[in-house]
Amino acid sequence: MLAMIIIILLTALLFLPLELNWWKRKQFRIWIPLRYVLGIMYGVFLFYLGLLDQSITLIITAYLPIVAIWLIIDNTLVFTLVKSFKKRTATIGASLGLLLLVGFAGFWVLQPLFLADAKFDMANGQEVTVEELNPVSEQSMPVVPRSYARYRADIMMGQLDNPAFYNLGETRIQRVNDSLQWVTPIEYDGIFRWVRSNAAPGYIIVSADNPREEPTLELVDMTYVPSAFFHENLERHVRTQFPDLLMLDTTFEIDGEGNPYYIISYGHYTEFRRVADVDGVIIVDPQTGETEQFARDEAPEWVNRIYPPHIAEERNQWFGIYKSGIVNRFFGREGLTEPTRWGADDTVTGVVDQDLQLNWFSDHMRLQTEGQEASRSMVGFTMFDTRTGELSYYRDASGSLNGRTAMDLAERTFRRDDYVAGTPSLYNIYGQYTWLVPLMDRNSVLREIMLVSARDENIYGYGDTKRDAFNAYQLELTSSSDDDAVPGDFTDAAELTGTIERVYKWDREDNVTVRFLIEGDDRIFTINASSSPYSLFMEPGDEITISFVENNEEIQPVEEISIPGIND
């Protein structure tokens, strides 16, 4: 805090007049203390309320226009009110201020035109292929959308003693031990509730991969939170200890034991406050206010995100539009792409790899002219590692459906139910690029989970549980696709010969699904009659041979079936 006070007092001196007549004449001199107070108020606004970094570049950016404007005002006023003041002196002083102001404005407007290469180099995208996108197991894949997690968290708020005192904070997905959870801190609802409360009451956990798991409310008194005021405000508490660091993002996470922490990503600007880079994190204990600083590669393993989403958004944009410099950006436009926007707030979304490491995902479409109809296919997609900042570009997905198209398909499929598609995410499922799209009703309640092949919009599966969706998708993929479904790391190609114990034939509107049991096997096998018409004639006691992709689940889709005497 002392460093902040000193900076405010020193920078307030820049509000004082540079024209000597202001100091010599009483009619002007009486206004000097007021100008200094005005400078203090400006500093308080920047550094105490705005919590900006107290760096040289910030001081130049925030105060150079102020000095220029005062030069123009001071010389104009003195020339107007003091008859002995020479016009030439006033003109020089005012012109100097105008020159500084125009020069700064010109620099601020024109400088981005020369930063294309620097921004592209900072993005540092590396082209990779689908073989390097490891399959993710069904159990590890998050299917609960953020909106549904907030809906369930909001219901849990009713368990608080004074729920009207608080609001839900930002809901973030994170790995907690070996599972994925949506974690939402509870924040104050305004300054009056902060005054009347001793602490924020805790946080709420909602499972990200099991929509039927009950959420939990963890009661922990948290004093230093973003919605607190004055000395208890989280960012202000950190700013007083780290005055010159650039604070980029604040997120709430819990460690493996459920202890709450706020993670503040910090870094620095290059190219005169135009390009931000991440240097590390500051971990704050909201109960005690204790802070600990970690470099980027030294952060604890339980910290999920070091690079915030807005950094990933920037670098995706730079990687797409600055591949061949600024001239190609506006004239040649060769090979340029841009991230697909799925909604008002979604440019990147969190997905996980097989180790549950979080990545910021974004699919890219060809660069669009303003007003042009949005493309329905992608030219590639990116994965941005939230801990290392590595940007991987999968160009071999070119020509596949983009996220917007997958959402439209999902909503059309359930048009009668008026379901709304949540933010889609792309995974390698059975060796295929596949969109996972959650579907919710108008109250944000999760109703269906849909898997859509990115290569063929006619291949999709859905269900009200993750298992049903995967089984339906695998069945459609193996029966409708011209390509073989490639088993992932969690599946194996298998063949089984046995005797049918029981058969059930489910006649749907558009097809017949045959389900059967094989003696000595606990699984329920299923096959679509459209892909195997002879399966309709199976009876108990028939000896059959089936081929399938092992999914280690209770319900097992079948790829091929051989019935002696019928289709052998």
Q: pLDDT digit string (tens) for 354-385?
A: 788 899 999 898 887 765 666 788 898 999 99
pLDDT grade for 487, boundaries at 50, 70 and 90: very low
Computed over every residue of the chain, the mean pLDDT equals 88
DSSP state of 267: E
Domains and CATH numbers, the chain: 2-114 (no CATH), 145-298 (no CATH), 309-399 (no CATH), 403-480 (no CATH), 493-562 (2.40.50.1010)
Contacting residues for 507 by C-beta, under 8 A, at least 6 apart: none
Residue entry with tokens 């892909």: 531
Picking from 76-80, 286-290, 293-297, which range would have the lowest pLDDT averaged per residue?
76-80
pLDDT in tens, 63-73: 999 999 999 99
Say if CB 247 and CB 235 are below 8 A apart.
yes
The reported pLDDT for the residue numbered 221 is 96
Q: What percent of the chain has pLDDT over 90?
A: 58
Picking from 66-70, 226-230, 249-253, 370-374, which range would have the lowest pLDDT averaged per residue?
370-374
Q: What is the CA radius of gyration of the chain?
A: 31
DSSP state of 111: G
Say if CB 544 and CB 498 are below 8 A apart.
yes
Picking from 187-196, 325-334, 443-452, which range would have the lowest pLDDT averaged per residue?
325-334
Question: Which three-class secondary structure string do you get for 142-209?
Answer: CCCCHHHHHHHHHHHHHHCCCHHHEEECCCEEEEECCEEEEEEEEEECCHHHHHHCCCEEEEEEEECC
Report which of residues 341 and 8 the model is more confident about.
8
pLDDT grade for 479, boundaries at 50, 70 and 90: low
Q: What is the pTM of this model?
A: 0.83
pLDDT in tens, 148-184: 999 999 999 999 988 999 999 999 999 998 889 999 9
What's CA 53's distance to the chain center, in Å?
24
- Give the integer Cα–Cα distance in Å for 265 and 246: 9
Report which of residues 75 and 508 the model is more confident about.
75
pLDDT grade for 516, boundaries at 50, 70 and 90: very high
pLDDT in tens, 150-159: 999 999 999 9
Say if CB 358 and CB 175 are below 8 A apart.
yes
Q: CA nearest 150: which of 416, 308, 345?
A: 345
State the CB neighbour count (10 A cutoff) for residue 53.
21
Using N-to-C axis directions, what is the helix angle for 2-11 and 32-43, rounded to 10°? 140
The reported pLDDT for the residue numbered 83 is 77
- The number of residues making up the chain comes to 568
Contacting residues for 329 by C-beta, under 8 A, at least 6 apart: 116, 321, 322, 336
The whole-number average pLDDT for the span 81-89 is 83
Q: Is the pLDDT of residue 292 over 70?
A: yes
474 HSE (CA, 13 A, CB side): 32
Residue entry with tokens 């009347």: 196
Say if CB 151 and CB 445 are below 8 A apart.
yes
Sheet holding 524-528, edge to edge: 555-557, 524-528, 512-518, 493-507, 543-549, 560-562
Q: What percent of the chain has pLDDT over 70?
A: 93
